[in-house]
Amino acid sequence: MDWLDNGLALSLVVFLPVVGAGIVLAIPKAQEAAIKWTALIVSLVTLALAVVLAVQFDYSAADTYQFGTAIDTPWIEAINAHFHIGVDGISLPMVVLTTLITMLCIVYSFNHLPEPHNPKLLLAMTLLLGTGMAGTFVALDLVLFFVFFEIVLLPMYFMIGIWGDRGIRYVPIFGWKMEMRLYASLKFFVFTLFGSAFMLLSFLALYFRSGDTLGYNSFSMVELSNIGPAGAFTGTFAFLVFLGLFLGFAVKVPMWPVHTWLPDAHTAAPTIGSVILAAILLKLGTYGFIRIALPILPDEAINWAPFIGVLAVIGIIYGSLACLAQTDMKRLIAYSSVGHMGFVMLGIATLTDIGINAAIIGMVAHGLITGLLFFVVGSMSHRYHTRDMNRLGGAMVSLPRMGLILGFAAMASLGLPSLAGFWGEFMSLMASFDPLEAIGATGLFRGFMVVGAVGTVLTAAYMLYLLRSVIFGEPAEEWVSQEFHDVDTAEWLAWAPLIAGIIAIGIFPKIVFGATNDAVVSLVQKAFGA
Amino acid sequence: MLPLATFAQQLILATEETTGGHSGIEPGITSGALVEWAWLIVVVPLVATFLILFFGKKLPMKGWELAVGSIGFVGVYGTILFILNATEGILYEGHLEVAKMGDFIIEWGWMVDGLSIMMYFLVGVVGTLVFVYAKSYMDGDIRFTWFFVSFSLFAGGMLVLVSAPNFLQLIVGWELVGVSSYLLIGHYWEDFENVDAGNKAFMVNKVADAALFIGAIIMAVSVGSFSFNDIIDVVMHGEAGPLSQFGFWAGLAVFIGAMGKSAQFPLHVWLPDAMAGPTPVSALMHAATMVTAGVYLLGRLFPFYLDVGGMFGGDVRNIIIVIGGLTLFLMGLVAIVQDDIKKVLAYSTVSQLGYMVAAMGAGAYTAGLFHLFTHAFFKALLFLGAGSLIHAVHSNDMSDMGGLRKKMPATFWTFILGTLALVAVFPFAGFFSKDEILASIKYAGGSGQDVANSILILGLLGSFITAFYMVRVIALTFFGEYKGAAHPHESPKLMTYPLIVLAFFAVTAGWVNIPGVYTGFTEWVATRVPLVGMGDHHAEGFDWPVVLVSSGLVLVGVVIAWMIYNKDAETNAARDWFRIPVLWPLLENKYFIDDLYMSGVVRPVMGPIASTVLWFDMNVVDGIVNGAGAAGKVLSKGVLVIDDNVVDGVFNASGAVTGASGSVLRRSFTGRVQQYAAFGFVGVIVIVVLFVII
């Protein structure tokens, strides 16, 4: 079909949401229903298109870019940047996940609108995020990638800044006292911008240096990953370029110790903001490692692997321990992302097909599971008007269904086998036992495996601690007399697909591996020859 | 489907090579609908779980009919398989590939071989009886339907585990069992005591699972496959390679995993606390099936641990037998001082699991599994009997019981039969299986014989201990004066009938493997991996010295316990005398192991360690970030004016200018573009510098 092969369908997946955002903004503010339905229909159509792509995808050629535009589709000719997009087995699951989460957030927003009330702006921002995120996953040109990567920043910045938590955040040492939303949004913005500035530098450096090999300067990720393994980038140059990429992506993941924007941003953001942040935004970083850093600079990746591995396992243990000391349930989930993304990065650091497969399924699973966790925690704190775990308790009495769903999500998050979270965790440990030989640090990585296994125990500990504090026991005095509205229709609609996805991927991981495996094997083959 | 008959023949040939001519049993059934549809055994309870969850409350019996129907199906299917396996031999393995990852194939499958069939039979038959019993026991419970959701999930998880042809599926079942156990122990979650018991079970098992993960990973990566067949194949052929290189560590890690589920010292601490769950749960999960998973796994990987060539997990066996021996002895002693009837049985379970594990360590595959088999019946019986008592007197404490034999005759007589089986009196079930374990330990052979000799002494002392604590229970509950407040009467038929059926098995289950007379059981569990002559020491006949010493010690235990506990008032002196200083407090405090874990690990991690990390994060790591931010703010005041109010500005503007909201976004974008430009400018300069340097 032409509209699939010439890139039209994929372009629609990327740009429909932003068009939708435009339409939403054009609708008068008073017509809330129209705004909501427009946003929903746009996101549904986008999701449907993504599903069509997933169905039409040629899985026997998962290592090739499909549905894309031609590599030389002109865009900014002055700098030889092209509008080159496409999906392979690695990006396909991420695109589907992005469109799904965007749609679910809009469904959820039907009757969960954060204060100040402005569905129009909120939904427009959500749709804009949809474009930025999907665009990042399909871009095959570094400039295009960068533009989408940065587009995401703005709506999220406003989302946190406008609808964020208005409680006061006290900053120790400096003695600052400012509204949570302002502090968190600024921190999020500046931190990420800091990282991506270095990333941009690396992109530019690659661009200029590529001319030596290609005869012309190129931003094409395809071309760069062809010449990268052939030794186009070496020595200090390669080291610095990797450093720049590392900073850009590591902040986004976030890896320890550049993670501190995350607990604040997640905690301050409105529910759908946290969901999108956790479910998709963090994956932009890990995706960048897999798609850009590893294939273009494989030798540097080998040099950096032990270092990345160390930071990853520190993240696993550190994030989990920080969770155990939390009393704010939303902050607990936020910190849990540091640990979970540690497993993803550990998988990537092994530079093996198993490790990278583990990373991708870990990304998808974390998207579904932590997305669900933030939804439920958001809905709970909306009802209780507090996130303080010392005051909560007995949700199984007050809100039995929601409590059960929280229990389910927590079990999934601690990596219960038969649910989606297991695969990423287990397989990344498995990859650590047998990392790429060229790294020359097999013993060290086996140590990571043991530490990571300890991390699974700590993960279980804080999730059980969360459940004990929030859903078990008798409800405290202040809640006993109150009537709570258990899971409502919008919540069911937004959560059921996540629950189904978590179970389906847990039992039938081929949903993800079926797409990723060949692509990953070929990526590893090309970059590391193993 | 693999051509399994050929595979089996290859395996048997391989065995002949390594063991010098001992051949296994040629399986008669290797294909056909019966085995090809055996996946239903696993799937039916899992489907039932979801049906009960969604529709249970609307059904006339609140979902119980679905639960008992599905487990009954497993019972019938399992019995058919069990009988056919006994008569003809069954060997089959079904597969469903669910993903490929690199070179590894992930598949779900169902094993239909002697070992799995025995477990299907146990889970199905004991499960059905317990589910029937639970209908009455849980009647009127606030979460009746939810109970059967969790219970069916447990049955499904256990069946996933025992049907697993590979490590991944085993792990799935392993943790499903763990999580359903967590749900059932914490069934009355209003009370934090129960929640904490569930958490403890979950966490101790999770620690063990982390080790299991490592062991599974080492084995799978070394062999290049998760499949048990492939792993055992490497072992059977004695191939040197990664698996032999890591044999000890892999074997040890997997064994630690098994220790968690099978509650071996020092990871046993969760099991006694797990008695917080309703009694049917204790009977099925914490006595008959779930805790047998560890022993089952050792059986599944038995050739690896038996390690004829001394290249793989052979050295681990010395550790296994010692852990088993310590567990059976130390935990048996703790059972003596318990006042809660369920706790006595719980420690008794741990102790009996110690026997099974010691048998595995001694290289006695059949003996270990045989005791697993008989124990499942009589321990389920004893727990259900205890449940019947608890149901009647509304207390777990034996000081609220006494004199109940007249009031509850069915419970009394079945409990007596279960006790006779447990303390290993001829000709009850436990006699044959325990005797076989002791005989096997005596002939463990190899470098471990010295160790095994000491363990044999512990095992024999264990006979005395077992007899002692069980007679104490009987004396305190069924004899003497009734001391409770409630008005006890015999339990309803739904509860007593399962007791009677289980009592039948408690008497007869041992007769399937009588040394020198009939050794059918040995063949039943050996169809998969023919092991005859590979370390089992049972076929030649009774080992009379062991039998006589063991039975003698049982008799002594019975007599002494009876003398101390049979009457209430006048023997108090004897009881006081028996409270030996130091030893008694040591036992009452369970050797202080729980306290050690709490103050040595749990509290420090949950408290100071976690708080320190969080403090470090908020003050040091984030302090640097905020410091950098503060510095940047000062530096950039001239260049970038970061105005916190821009956010509110945008919002207010969008509220005010309804029609032209686009311009708002445009305005904010323009603001940012300037920033980008600034960054871009800096970027270009740095680039230039970079290129000059390089």
Q: pLDDT for B132-159, tens place per residue?
A: 999 888 888 888 899 999 999 999 999 9
Whether the Cβ atoms of residue B375 and residue B423 lie closer than 8 Å to each other: no
Taking only residues 587 to 606 of chain B, the set having a beta carbon closer than 8 angstroms to any beta carbon of chain A reads: 605-606
Question: Pairing state of beta strands A74-76 and B104-112?
Answer: unpaired
pLDDT tens-place string over residues A330-343: 999 999 999 999 99
CA–CA dist B46, B66 (Å, integer)? 11
Closest partner CB to A509 (pick from B98, B218, B617): B98
Q: With an 8 Å Cβ cutoff, are B101 and A257 in contact?
A: no
Q: Decide: helix, strand or coil at residue B329.
A: helix
Q: How far is A474 from chain B (nearest CA, A)?
A: 5
Q: With an 8 Å Cβ cutoff, are A411 and B179 in contact?
A: yes
Q: With an 8 Å Cβ cutoff, are A456 and B627 in contact?
A: no
Q: With an 8 Å Cβ cutoff, are B669 and A154 in contact?
A: yes
H helix runs in A27-179, sequence order: 32-56, 91-108, 119-138, 142-151, 153-163
Q: Scanning the structure block, which residue is given the tokens 């006994």?
A: B86
Using CA coordinates, name the residue in chain B closest to A153. B672
**Cα A434 to chain centroid, rounded:** 26
Q: Provide the pLDDT confidence category of residue A3 given band limits of 50, 70 and 90.
A: confident
Answer whether residue B688 shows pLDDT above 60: no
Closest CA to A133 of A159, A155, A108: A155
Q: How far is B216 from chain A (nearest CA, A)?
A: 9
Per CB-CB distance under 8 Å, the chain A contacts of B682 are 197
Residue B2, pLDDT score? 34
Helix B293-300 to helix B114-137 angle, to the nearest 10 degrees?
A: 170
Closest partner CB to A162 (pick from B203, B211, B647): B647
Whole-number average pLDDT of chain B: 81
Which of B50, B601, B617 should one mutate to test binding to chain A, selecting the residue with the greatest count of A CBs within 10 A? B617
CA–CA dist B166, B225 (Å, integer)? 8
Q: Give the mean model confidence (pLDDT) for residues B341-368.
A: 90
CA–CA dist A205, B684 (Å, integer)? 10
pLDDT tens-place string over residues B429-442: 888 888 888 888 88
Closest partner CB to A429 (pick from B213, B609, B625): B213
Q: With an 8 Å Cβ cutoff, are B658 and A158 in contact?
A: no
Q: With an 8 Å Cβ cutoff, are A174 and B627 in contact?
A: yes
Per CB-CB distance under 8 Å, the chain A contacts of B211 are 453
Task: Check CB contact of B311 with chain A, cutoff 8 Å.
Answer: no
Whole-number average pLDDT of chain A: 91
Residue B532, pLDDT score? 42
Find residue A179's DSSP bridge partners.
A168
Structure tokens at A370: 């932590």
Residue A473, pLDDT score? 86
Task: Check CB contact of B630 with chain A, cutoff 8 Å.
Answer: yes
Size of interface A-B (CB pairs under 8 A): 220
CA–CA dist B31, B90 (Å, integer)? 9
Taking only residues 124 to 163 of chain B, the set having a beta carbon closer than 8 angstroms to any beta carbon of chain A reads: 160
Q: How far is A473 from chain B (nearest CA, A)?
A: 4
What are the residue ranges spanned by the domains of chain B? 26-242+255-296, 313-366+389-588, 603-693
Residue B607, pLDDT score? 85
Closest CA to B505 of B82, B85, B42, B154: B82
Q: With an 8 Å Cβ cutoff, are B647 and A182 in contact?
A: yes
Whether the Cβ atoms of residue B393 and residue B474 lie closer than 8 Å to each other: no
Find residue B109's DSSP bridge partners.
B95
- Whole domain around residue A460: which residue ranges? 2-528
Give whole-number Cα distances, B245 to A398, A450, B233, in Å: 55, 18, 16
Task: Check CB contact of A208 with chain B, cutoff 8 Å.
Answer: yes
CA–CA dist A219, A204 (Å, integer)? 8
Q: With an 8 Å Cβ cutoff, are B621 and A240 in contact?
A: no
Answer whether residue B568 shows pLDDT above 70: no
Q: How far is A417 from chain B (nearest CA, A)?
A: 5
Task: Check CB contact of A197 with chain B, cutoff 8 Å.
Answer: yes
Residue A405, pLDDT score? 95
Using CA coordinates, name the residue in chain B closest to A237. B694
Per CB-CB distance under 8 Å, the chain B contacts of A34 are none
B672 versus B124: which is more confidently predicted? B124
Helix A421-433 to helix A489-507 angle, to the nearest 10 degrees?
A: 30
Taking only residues 99 to 128 of chain A, the set having a beta carbon closer than 8 angstroms to any beta carbon of chain B reads: 116, 118, 120-121, 124
Question: Pairing state of beta strands B92-101 and B104-112?
Answer: antiparallel
pLDDT tens-place string over residues B219-236: 999 998 999 888 888 887
Q: With an 8 Å Cβ cutoff, are A352 and B102 in contact?
A: yes
Q: How far is B192 from chain A (nearest CA, A)?
A: 6
Determine what percent of chain A is predicted with pLDDT higher than 70: 100
Which backbone phi and psi does B500 adopt, to 5 degrees? -65, -40
Q: Give the mean model confidence (pLDDT) for residues B360-370.
A: 86
Per CB-CB distance under 8 Å, the chain A contacts of B176 are 416-418
The DSSP call for residue A146 is H
Lowest mean pLDDT across A58-62, B44-48, B587-591: B587-591
pLDDT tens-place string over residues A90-132: 999 999 999 999 999 999 999 888 888 888 899 999 999 999 9
Residue B3, pLDDT score? 36
Taking only residues 245 to 284 of chain A, the set having a beta carbon closer than 8 angstroms to any beta carbon of chain B reads: 257, 259-261
pLDDT tens-place string over residues B478-515: 888 888 777 888 888 888 898 999 999 988 888 888 77
| Residue B20 φ/ψ region, left for φ over 0, alpha for ψ in the -120 to 50 degree band, beta for the rest | left
Q: What is the 3-state secondary structure (H, E, C) of A295-353?
A: HHCHHHHHHHHHHHHHHHHHHHHHHHHHHHCCCEHHHHHHHHHHHHHHHHHHHHHCCCH
Q: How far is B172 from chain A (nearest CA, A)?
A: 5
Q: Provide the pLDDT confidence category of residue B668 given band limits of 50, 70 and 90.
A: very low
Task: Check CB contact of B241 with chain A, cutoff 8 Å.
Answer: no
Q: With an 8 Å Cβ cutoff, are B606 and A324 in contact?
A: yes
pLDDT tens-place string over residues A465-501: 999 999 998 888 888 888 888 888 889 999 999 999 9
Q: With an 8 Å Cβ cutoff, are A449 and B202 in contact?
A: no
Instruction: Please state the domain count of chain A.
Output: 1
Per CB-CB distance under 8 Å, the chain A contacts of B687 are 201, 204-205, 208
pLDDT tens-place string over residues B211-222: 999 999 999 999
Per CB-CB distance under 8 Å, the chain B contacts of A28 are 658-659
Taking only residues 468 to 507 of chain A, the set having a beta carbon closer than 8 angstroms to any beta carbon of chain B reads: 468, 471-474, 507
- Measured over the CA atoms of residue A102, residue A107, residue A110 and residue A114, the dihedral's sign is negative
Q: With an 8 Å Cβ cutoff, are A321 and B610 in contact?
A: yes
Whether the Cβ atoms of residue B284 and residue B127 lie closer than 8 Å to each other: yes
Answer whether residue B22 shows pLDDT above 50: no
Per CB-CB distance under 8 Å, the chain A contacts of B625 are 187, 191, 260-261
Using CA coordinates, name the residue in chain B closest to A156. B647
CA–CA dist A14, A86 (Å, integer)? 11
Q: With an 8 Å Cβ cutoff, are A201 and B662 in contact?
A: no
Q: Provide the pLDDT confidence category of residue A410 given band limits of 50, 70 and 90.
A: very high
Using CA coordinates, name the residue in chain A closest to B653. A121
Answer whether residue B9 shows pLDDT above 70: no
Whether the Cβ atoms of residue A261 and residue A229 lie closer than 8 Å to each other: no
Lowest mean pLDDT across B310-324, B363-377, B651-665: B651-665
Q: Give the mean model confidence (pLDDT) for residues B254-268.
A: 92
CA–CA dist B531, B246 (Å, integer)? 24
Closest CA to B490 of B418, B407, B417: B407
Which of B212, B217, B676 should one mutate to test binding to chain A, selecting the residue with the greatest count of A CBs within 10 A? B217
Q: With an 8 Å Cβ cutoff, are B210 and A181 in contact?
A: no
CA–CA dist B340, B383 (Å, integer)? 12
Q: With an 8 Å Cβ cutoff, are A240 and B690 in contact?
A: yes
Answer whether residue A43 shows pLDDT above 70: yes
Q: Decide: helix, strand or coil at residue A85.
A: strand
Q: How many CA atoms lie within 13 A of A12 on its CB side?
A: 20
Q: Residues A467-482, buried b or exposed e (16+ Cβ, 10 A)?
A: bbbbbbbbbeeebeee
Residue B657, pLDDT score? 40
CA–CA dist B517, A368 (Å, integer)? 60
H helix runs in B426-490, sequence order: 429-442, 449-478
